[in-house]
A and B are shown apart, each in its own frame.
Chain A
């Protein structure tokens, strides 16, 4: 089987699986799988940039995805003027003071000679800076969170179109990646892994606790959408007419139409990012990256600045994850920091990249669709299997327990798929050329 037929065949298989979902379950669930598959494919592309191109082991994907979600709130929701008046400047000043403290401390560390004086000066700067920061920060936060806490209690966003949040999400994630990369990229691969794992947890902790930012665990719901609302479509006479002429009832037609519009938007983004990633892979820059990945010492001897290149691609990959995160929050229409779990948002993306074929962009995209499809469909299949197994059993605790446990089959399947691919086809379904 030639390379191209294999690729076409695999993608056709995924397409057929989604169509089959549409025929057997409903077109709504098929489109849902397609939409999340598109987003997953973009996340997988981001991770593939870091791992496949450069061999960077980033297990903090969840953090960058969540930052993208945060961007959606900060860009698209309406500002809360009272909150800005009550505490906005205070919070901004406090954050600047915090950043200033860190800059001052690092300057002191570099400028002062090593010794007790430096340690004392550093400690003094950090303690005084921290106290001053809290002294300004705490009352402002309290003031902001006191304003209409049932619906707001945060500073709100900029009230801009939600589509703008996607690039902003990328920029936000890129900024975080720059800070992390600056400190952690010099470390060995498994240290980088632990560092990124920690950063992701911290980002989620901040989003859960800083209510003034995006309401924390109180969640932001009803985010603006780039597509029309179903209810408006159902009330529009021309839409209803078109739907009935196609033989669909208006409610179903409106949900399908909205999901379809999202799918078009996401496909455009995916194609643009995929095109850029392909160009990057085949450019001299991409070859240099792979050279660095395969032999760092040799690349360094050839005069390549390994640390800088690593930082560059770490930022790019994280930005792609941030864009995907913003798209996902837009699709959900809400930001719920409590739902970000590392198994779902970090390790699942890794399974996609490894199964698809690390180092190959098309492989990452395929992995994104395929694994997402499995993730969604394993649960009903598991339930069906369990029902088959337990059909002969008498009703009782064991039967209920087995039926309940079907919900956890997806984790088992993901682990098995990952281990099987690593063992028998370590280069993935579409291997790197």
Chain B
């Protein structure tokens, strides 16, 4: 019984949140890795792209709510998602036209593109702040829990409750669908294959008649979709505050690099590695250990390895270790 209780406590505080967070990071990292693979630079504006897409979703959700449209137990934001993706895609395509294309034509060094993306980051950040402000926005509605802690206790007779939020369930399901679609697209369709060819070897791809501008446009649209989905899921699960999205840049980059930049499978693995380490290192293990250990050995303190504020340090430490010992990441990524 104690063993079961320990497992439930572990699931409730570590496994479920880490899986949800990992899915969000994985979607974000996929966007970063695609840009890196096709356009060949690290996009510092990715966090703010996520914030912009989510902002559109938030605005459309409010509009739907004022019209009385809802999805019943599911959050209305899911209905607004396509509009968010469209808005975000329009913005990134506009940026590509006005900003990035010039440097692509010049074959500028990747580091120049990184600096350019810093400028884009400033502008996107300002746009979100001007349109929506800097405050925390709430746009989640519908049923809060798939299963609440009290119901779970009644159902199983255990001491520990397991609560799964609707948003956590939706996060995982959406992430699975999106990733499946993406991989189907990249591996099965002609356009997807041309993207992979372009990423693997630009010259050969050009020789075989692939239109580079078309590849770039499709990449940006996919990245906008991934960023908006990731941002919306994160916003539903935690809360929407423009500034937190900027800070997400660090764990997202860590995920992409740990998995191997330019490798989509690696981005997903990296997302979960980072999420699980962040949550386990900053979780207070007292409860779980209390069930597992004999009474005399029960710990007095919280058994928290590090306070939650150091979660960046965790993703960063993993990043450094991977870079030092396996510079191309866990899955073989590119190193330009």
Contact = CB atoms under 8 A, between A and B. Distances in A.
A326 B124 CA distance: 31
A188 B122 contact: no
Contacts of A194: 42, 250, 253-254, 257, 319
B228 to A, nearest CB: 21
Contact of A408 (B118, B119, B130): B130
Nearest to A419: B119
Contact of A201 (B42, B111, B307, B312): B312
A314 interface: no
A298 interface: no
Nearest to B314: A202
A416 B127 CA distance: 12
Contacts of A408: 126, 129-130, 134
28 contacts: A57-B114, A130-B305, A189-B110, A190-B114, A193-B42, A194-B250, A195-B319, A197-B249, A197-B253, A198-B250, A198-B312, A208-B309, A342-B246, A343-B246, A347-B118, A347-B122, A350-B115, A405-B131, A408-B126, A409-B126, A411-B123, A412-B130, A415-B125, A418-B115, A419-B99, A419-B116, A422-B112, A423-B102
B130 A405 contact: yes
Interface stretch (B171-179, B193-201, B218-226, B320-328): B320-328
Nearest to A348: B122
Interface in B108-150: 110-112, 114-116, 118-127, 129-131, 133-134
B183 interface: no
Interface of B: 41-42, 99, 102, 110-112, 114-116, 118-127, 129-131, 133-134, 246-247, 249-250, 253-254, 257, 301, 305, 307, 309-310, 312-313, 315-316, 319-320, 323-324, 327, 335-336
A205 B115 contact: no
Nearest to A412: B126
B127 A412 contact: yes
A195 B324 CA distance: 12
Chain A's interface: helix, strand, loop or mixed, by majority? helix
Nearest to B243: A341
A187 B323 contact: yes
B320 A184 contact: yes
Contacts of A189: 110-111, 114
A50 B307 CA distance: 33
A344 to B, nearest CB: 11
B119 A418 contact: yes
Given A183-B324, A188-B336, A205-B310, A411 B126 contact: yes
Nearest to B109: A189
A2 B188 CA distance: 60
Contacts of A190: 41-42, 110-111, 114
A26 B139 CA distance: 44
A422 B249 contact: no
A422 B115 contact: yes
A351 B116 CA distance: 10
B320 A183 contact: yes
A414 B120 CA distance: 10
B103 to A, nearest CB: 8
A249 interface: no
Contacts of B316: 195, 198-199, 201-202
A285 interface: no
B85 to A, nearest CB: 23
A187 B324 CA distance: 9
A188, A351, A401: residue with the most chain B Cβ atoms closer than 10 Å: A188
A189, A190, A209, A422: residue with the most chain B Cβ atoms closer than 10 Å: A190
A62 interface: no
A197 B250 contact: yes
B86 to A, nearest CB: 23
A199 B315 CA distance: 11
A55 B112 CA distance: 11
A350 to B, nearest CB: 6
B323 A195 contact: yes
A92 to B, nearest CB: 21
Contact of A198 (B42, B119, B123, B254): B254
A198 B319 contact: yes
Contacts of A347: 118, 121-122
A275 interface: no
B320 A422 contact: no
Nearest to A411: B126
Nearest to A415: B122
Interface in A382-433: 401, 404-405, 408-412, 414-416, 418-419, 422-423, 426
A418 B118 contact: yes
A124 to B, nearest CB: 17
Nearest to A189: B111
Contacts of B310: 202, 205, 209
Nearest to B301: A138
A411 B105 CA distance: 28
Contacts of B120: 415, 419
